[in-house]
Structure 1
Amino acid sequence: MESKRQKQVSKQIQKDLGEIFQRDFKSLFDGAFVTITDVKMTPDLSIGKVYLSFLKAKDREAILQSIRENTKKIRGIFGNKAKSQLRIIPNFQFYIDDTAEYAQKIEDLFANLVIPPAPEEDEEDSN
């Protein structure tokens, strides 16, 4: 269970990193639109697990690798922005958030599911 402070810091990181990605690191994304879907903080607020969603991405893994290679720069820019709000600037770990794709697969499975109609009650009574 996340504490209130963890949730506050997570939301702040999500907002600030979104702005940083759009303003400073747009060239890394090769025309893709990167969204931060969630941030999970460790209880000591030293590590933030950042989950990313990609739209119009040709190669998500390559973009993720590029982001991971620039983690120090991203952390530095974030640190300058959040230094008055946080005592410790967290380290970031970036992951692909595939929950939307998973949900779409489940939706497709349900859409293609063929369920035969239930037998009429009259047919059951005549047996």
Structure 2
Amino acid sequence: MESKRQRQVGKLIQKDLGDIFQREFRSLFAGNFVTITDVKVSPDLSVAKVYLSFLKTHNREAILDEIRENTKKIRGLFGAMAGKQLRIIPNFSFFVDDTAEYAQKIEQLFANIHIPPAEEEED
């Protein structure tokens, strides 16, 4: 279970990384939408797992690889923004958040289920 401080730091990371992605890395995404859906922070606040959702893109692994290659630069920009609020600037790990796709597949499975009407039993 996350502590209140972990949730606060996670929200701060989510907001600031969103700003960094919009301002500094817009050219990296080439018109694709990248959204930070969730941030999980370790109890000691030194590691942050950042989950990303990609819209209007077919090559999300390539974009994710570019983000991972620029992790050091992203961490530096984040440190400049949040350095006064955090004592430790966390190391970022980026992951694809595929919960929306998973939910869509489940919805499609439910939509394709055909349940025949129950037969009435005669006494």
Q: Which residue of 2 aligns with 1:97?
A: 97
Bigger Rg over Cα? 1
Q: What fraction of aligned residue pairs are identical, expressed as a percent?
A: 75
Flag structure 1 segments of 5+ consecutive residues without an equivalent.
none
The answer to whether the aligner puts 1:125 opposite 2:116 as a matched pair is no
Mapped partners of 1:17, 1:119: distance in 2: 57
Kindly provide the CA deviation profile for residues 59-103 of structure 1, in whole angstroms up to 9, marking residues without a partner as x: 000000000000001000000000000000000000000000000
- The equivalent of 1:72 in structure 2 is 72
Q: TM-score, normalised by structure 2?
A: 0.97
Distance 1:87 1:35 in 2: 26
- Offset, 1:23: 0.8
Q: Does 1:47 align with 2:47?
A: yes
Cα distance in structure 1, aligned partners of 2:27 and 2:98 = 23
> Residue 31 of structure 1: CA displacement?
1.4
TM-score (norm 1): 0.94
Tell me how many residue pairs correspond in the alignment.
123
Counterpart in the other structure of 2:11? 11
Q: Spell out structure 1 runs of 4+ moving beyond 2 A.
A: none
